[in-house]
A and B are shown apart, each in its own frame.
Chain A
């Protein structure tokens, strides 16, 4: 993204935030906190005083939509440059530490007991970030044909292992309820799927590193 575009995006974000803050203050001060406190939409009737809050909400939504479009555009642009790039992308191996965020997934057990909320299990996906450690070690490597071949081989192997685990989980979980509880079964399946995707992310980088540096041989010039 160009610098001007970044500035514009930040300024628009700040404007939206300020507008929302001003509208919230107005609603609290002069409109009985309407649209701020929970309401039943079925019983909602429009009042002119609601306009600031409505406008700021619409602008906020539009801003998020704009951010989403920017993200999609960046992803497409990155894919294009990746295809034509000569060197592997530059990455700090320390980013692999983000893999520890995967432990946040264990919060899911707590939230399931207290609120019946299973979303935090998805955080297990962050275990896949451990792969950044190996990707970082391969930073700026010239991508010759052997590198690209190894990359495809590693990706294929990682996909094969992850999909085998998911398939196995489908077969096992499909046999019936886990501990006689359908909910437990579905949670177990969710955890297995998320961990498999994380494993896929990690293995594709780890195996690429292994294939590239793999078998021991004398690396000295002869």
Chain B
């Protein structure tokens, strides 16, 4: 997705979480987390907030729109 960067993978690994664990915590499928990490999916505001709370990183640090 042009102009969209996602740093989720880095922060998830720092928290020592698997994709599966994060997915079940925020109520999505693992495939959705994978797509997010590859910046192939633009999440809803609710999902972005849920993820930022789960990995304890500010939302603007996780998702960058250029």
The residues of A with any CB-CB pair to B shorter than 8 Å are 141-142, 144-147, 212, 215, 217, 219, 221-222
B9 touches A144 (CB 8 A): no
Closest to B30 in A: A221
Given the known inter-chain contacts A217-B34, A219-B34, please indicate yes or no for A144 contacting B27, CB distance below 8 A.
yes
**Chain B residues within an 8 Å CB radius of A217:** 34-35, 38, 40
A18 to chain B minimum Cβ distance, whole angstroms, is 52
Q: Mark B14-47, 1 if CB is under 8 A from A, else 0.
A: 0000111000000111111011001011011011
Q: A146-B31, A146-B32, A222-B9 are in contact. List 6 more A-B contacts (CB 8 A).
A: A144-B32, A212-B31, A215-B40, A217-B34, A221-B20, A221-B30
The residues of B with any CB-CB pair to A shorter than 8 Å are 9, 18-20, 27-32, 34-35, 38, 40-41, 43-44, 46-47
A219 touches B31 (CB 8 A): yes
A141 touches B19 (CB 8 A): no
B18 touches A146 (CB 8 A): no
